[in-house]
Structure 1
């Protein structure tokens, strides 16, 4: 197996829905030993800690959306984090809120387009949403 530089990025986001609890996701992955297991497989692992959302003005329309300004802030921060992490290796975004896909996938797609290569995303979820 090819040894990779893996970057663990915690996303304690809890804004894409009304029920709280997803912010504990990154800590659960750490407690479960994700980084240790990746190292046992021969990868170099860097835990970048937990990120924070970008500030977003409180003027986005709400309507039927739950906490849209917080989601926009997280999405903006995640796009930048994903682009930077892709340039450094293989990012693994650890979270629990499905809305983290908005920024993480967009950032990976932007990096892939700039590099002129296909985009690949492996999405693991503890439950199906359908």
Structure 2
């Protein structure tokens, strides 16, 4: 299987400096070599760059980095869609706000192919807050709410196709 590694050096969703070094650390630790040893063909597509920052406002005043996470999510969704055409995309984050973009992109590809999309979500936290309900303001806590179709993401994150 062709695996395509894509870096998503995002730290804006967690509000914690250093998360953006995750992709570099995983590469340096030998991820590509490990995948090759498992019999996979591996390509490294480099890193996604965020789209332009647009002024976005929200009633929830505790949200942190909404313009940045919105820009990253759109760019990652496009990369996930493009990468999933010929390969198994492997996104390296950053904080896990990247999941909103990866799920959006692969959901679009699954719908286009007429295939169901199954997601196994393993996390210490449910990540089911919406932009309205988060009290921490950390946007790494919203991807599953977005992916499950909860309201309140329109205009901030890409439209999520139903699969």
| Common fold: TM-score over 0.5 | yes
CA apart distance, 1:98 = 1.2
Equivalent-residue separation in structure 2 for 1:42 and 1:18 (angstroms): 37
Matched, 1:76 2:39: no
How many residue pairs align between the two structures? Answer: 125
Give the one of 105, 108, 111 matched to 2:106. Answer: 108
Matched, 1:37 2:34: yes
- Higher percent of residues as helix: 1
- Specify the alignment match of 2:7 in structure 1: 10
* Stretches of 4+ aligned residues off by more than 2 angstroms: 59-62, 120-125
Q: Which runs of 5+ in 1 are unaligned?
A: none
Q: What root-mean-square deviation, in Å, do the aligned CA atoms of Structure 1 and Structure 2 show?
A: 1.7
When residues 104 and 56 of structure 1 are mapped into structure 2, their CA distance, relative to the original with a 3 A threshold, is same
CA apart distance, 1:120 = 3.6
Other structure's SS at 1:113 match = helix
Give the TM-score taking structure 2 as reference length.
Answer: 0.71
Of structures 1 and 2, the one with the larger relative CO (CA 8 A, separation 6+) is 1
Equivalent-residue separation in structure 2 for 1:121 and 1:8 (angstroms): 19
Matched, 1:57 2:54: yes
